[in-house]
Amino acid sequence: MIVSGKNNDVAWGNQIGYILLPFQLAVHDDPLAYVRKAKKTLDRKKSSLEVIFTCKISELFVKMFGLKAGAFIIGRMLTNTTTTFSNMVGPTEQVEFYGYHFFLQALIVHYQSYNGTIKVILSVDEEIIPNYTQLLDDFVESFRHIKDAASRLSKHVKKG
């Protein structure tokens, strides 16, 4: 785009939109029941205008009230979020913007699916979740149940 000098509708820079999802803790007889429900909700929300609206409203807010007010609102949104799921690689150093620290959630879940494997990274605030090792064990056990159930389902579908 730079070399050709052509002006098209591609936006430069980072644009952040987000989707708010309810996070429900429950025990299911079928380990995939939660995955199916979450996927259905997420697919519906991704097909909606929620991501575009959250991005554009955030931009409008910053333009109307300035960076300091925008940083305050983003900081409030992040600090009032219980869990964040992200597929973006985060910074290697602590980030601060006008005195507001980013990534202030008690639990952050990063996941990446690549070449048939899923890598999950949990970041836990030890002051808020003091028994974090139990939480990590529970995540491992939950993913094991989901993987086993998906493997059984996959074998059943191939036979049928």
State residue 1's pLDDT score: 46
Q: How far is CA 9 from CA 6, 18, 113, in A?
A: 10, 22, 30
Q: What is the pLDDT of residue 67?
A: 84
Residue holding tokens 């974090």? 132
Residue with tokens 């199916």: 36
Neighbour-count burial for 50-62, b at 16+ CB within 10 Å, e otherwise: ebeebeeebeeeb
Among the residues of 47-125, which ranges form H helices? 50-65, 67-79
Residue stretches of the chain with pLDDT short of 70: 1-16, 23, 81-92, 95-105, 156-160
Fill in the DSSP letter of residue 10.
P
pTM for the full predicted model: 0.46
pLDDT, residue 72, reads 82
